[in-house]
A and B are shown apart, each in its own frame.
Chain A
């Protein structure tokens, strides 16, 4: 490294500002995490360490509701992530490997639109669309909406990975008598695997966490975990919400970390 890195602490006020930001971001999370182990019915008074609210989540009066919601969330996340990752992989192949075809830039905008459009707009538009075509809202509408808005999140790591793979590998495969499909399946796809897995995990977590769009298109009588939590909170915050939030946080952290590690392992193996 030729030049010395700039030490951010030299900027006046930078350090306190950093601490303030970190505090605002993480203090609420830490409070939720700590109070999820609180042995008290109050959400503000500490009554000693306990796992009673975790047991309440799994065996308490609200347990069946949360279990159904969790089941819906998980199945939707798995299916949405799988389908959107498949679409994103094919889209990336077309965008990056098929040369400069007509409508390429338009395709790029189309794929990434869900990231750029405010989520509430997408939510309202999707709801209007479903009711306009007379589609009954429910599990299927949530799933379709999730697949669509997960595509760009799956696309980004996949496209980044594909861009970094030299196309002479596929040329070598073609040269060695592979058909285009075999070159894709036997050479490009395995090399893409880290990017694809990374995209899948990202899509999964995005789907699992989504509230706004889900809340609009879900219709009555079906809940995902985020909407169930929201429904509960509206009737007053119970300590069991903190336990369930902590569990959700844990799943998120695990998946985001996995996605990061997979991406990094892929970088190294090149």
Chain B
């Protein structure tokens, strides 16, 4: 993915970085090219190694193998205070004995910026996060959302080349989280600083990022834009982890040029897109629930019985159990709810061939 980008456009080049804790492999030859001025997200389930990867970039963990190159310079052996990257910690880690001003000024003073200059810069960043009037408050006197913004301001003040954010929104409630998402994106745009953002929340990742790296078990599964990852998942893990999907066992007859021809469980043939590396033989198709249409039993490619309906506000989730006992998830927009068959009745299922995608196992 990064091959068509010039080296100078790469902010951080992570070159087959591995990290072992004893025998446990937390990072397994991770390679990523994070571009300059990019909002880049590391997404994966709990324990997959996101924090570990971020900590190796910040310098809190040594790498067991590999290189971390920041704008052409290998920083893997530098201590954290010699790396021009700053971190927004998950629990903020604001210094409790310092007020907001002193917290935000901390990095600037350590860099040797003089008092006057530093104070000016602090008011700039406090303006950016809209906290000017709080400069003399202690962290303990602020709400979670305000503390989060102080943490952001503190990390931005020294103008780092890369800003690392470890699930900075996880301590906020839903409404606030959504507001802060937009704000973070704006700040990234305004400052032009490369953001590396860690989350296990796929919605957060999809809405905020320029590009996403999906990680599982210490390995990068796929890198791409939100659309690429959602529409063209590479393997079963990505398809299943990002959004909801139906995974259907198929016989793959042939794969060539990103297309595959497969035999569905009922015997019908289908031509669909195929992920890089998919092979002939047994395989899995991924079909998103919203790409499946409910039709009358006579018109369906598949026929099954409706077993469940879940009201989701804007959508309706419907489970249809096929005759060979597999269950297909369907998502119908609420405006079309009137046409949903009752639980227990037969329903037909249809999908376009471009809705299906053959995955790498």
B106-147 interface mask toward A, CB cutoff 8 Å, 1 = contact, 0 = none?
Answer: 110011000000000000000000000000000010000000
Whether, in the assembled complex, A30 has its beta carbon less than 8 Å from a beta carbon of chain B, the answer is no
Is A178 a contact partner of B96 (Cβ separation < 8 A)?
A: no
Looking across the interface, which residue of chain A has its beta carbon closest to that of B91?
Answer: A168
| Tally of B interface residues using CB under 8 Å | 24
Chain B, range 60-93, C-beta contacts under 8 Å to A: 60, 79-81, 85-87, 89, 91, 93
Among the stretches A64-72, A114-122, A169-177, A220-228, the one at the interface with B is A169-177
Is B96 a contact partner of A173 (Cβ separation < 8 A)?
A: no
Number of contact residues on A: which range applies? Answer: 10 to 19
Looking across the interface, which residue of chain B has its beta carbon closest to that of A165?
Answer: B96
Complex CA distance for A182 and B96, rounded to whole angstroms? 16
Residues of B within 8 A of A178 (CB): 81, 106, 110
Complex CA distance for A106 and B306, rounded to whole angstroms? 69
CB distance from B24 to the nearest CB of A (A): 17
Residues of A within 8 A of B95 (CB): 169, 172-173, 187
Is A169 a contact partner of B81 (Cβ separation < 8 A)?
A: no
Complex CA distance for A176 and B91, rounded to whole angstroms? 16
Whether, in the assembled complex, B154 has its beta carbon less than 8 Å from a beta carbon of chain A, the answer is yes
Is B93 a contact partner of A172 (Cβ separation < 8 A)?
A: yes
Whether, in the assembled complex, A87 has its beta carbon less than 8 Å from a beta carbon of chain B, the answer is no
Is A177 a contact partner of B110 (Cβ separation < 8 A)?
A: yes
A182-200 interface mask toward B, CB cutoff 8 Å, 1 = contact, 0 = none?
Answer: 1000110011000000000
A interface secondary structure, majority: helix
CB distance from A83 to the nearest CB of B (A): 26
Is A168 a contact partner of B89 (Cβ separation < 8 A)?
A: yes
Is B87 a contact partner of A172 (Cβ separation < 8 A)?
A: yes
Complex CA distance for A169 and B58, rounded to whole angstroms? 14
CB distance from A150 to the nearest CB of B (A): 27
CB distance from A5 to the nearest CB of B (A): 31
Contact A172/B97 with A177-B158, A178-B81, A179-B81 known, Cβ cut-off 8 Å: no
Contact A171/B81 with A176-B107, A178-B110 known, Cβ cut-off 8 Å: no
CB distance from A109 to the nearest CB of B (A): 26
Looking across the interface, which residue of chain A has its beta carbon closest to that of B86?
Answer: A175
Complex CA distance for A19 and B155, rounded to whole angstroms? 60
Whether, in the assembled complex, A7 has its beta carbon less than 8 Å from a beta carbon of chain B, the answer is no
Complex CA distance for A172 and B80, rounded to whole angstroms? 9
Complex CA distance for A171 and B95, rounded to whole angstroms? 11
Residues of A within 8 A of B79 (CB): 174
Is A176 a contact partner of B110 (Cβ separation < 8 A)?
A: yes
CB distance from A37 to the nearest CB of B (A): 45
Is B158 a contact partner of A172 (Cβ separation < 8 A)?
A: no
Is B107 a contact partner of A191 (Cβ separation < 8 A)?
A: no
Is B106 a contact partner of A171 (Cβ separation < 8 A)?
A: no
Whether, in the assembled complex, A3 has its beta carbon less than 8 Å from a beta carbon of chain B, the answer is no
Residues of A within 8 A of B110 (CB): 176-179, 182
Whether, in the assembled complex, A102 has its beta carbon less than 8 Å from a beta carbon of chain B, the answer is no
Looking across the interface, which residue of chain B has its beta carbon closest to that of A170?
Answer: B93
- Interfacial residues, chain A to chain B (CB-CB below 8 A): 166, 168-169, 171-179, 182, 186-187, 190-191, 269-270
- Interfacial residues, chain B to chain A (CB-CB below 8 A): 58-60, 79-81, 85-87, 89, 91, 93-97, 106-107, 110-111, 140, 154-155, 158
- Counting from the closest, the 5 A-B pairs by CB-CB distance are A176-B107, A177-B110, A172-B93, A168-B93, A174-B80
> What are 18 A-B pairs at a CB distance below 8 A?
A168-B91, A171-B87, A171-B89, A172-B87, A172-B93, A173-B106, A174-B80, A175-B80, A176-B81, A176-B106, A176-B107, A176-B110, A176-B158, A177-B158, A178-B110, A179-B110, A186-B106, A187-B95
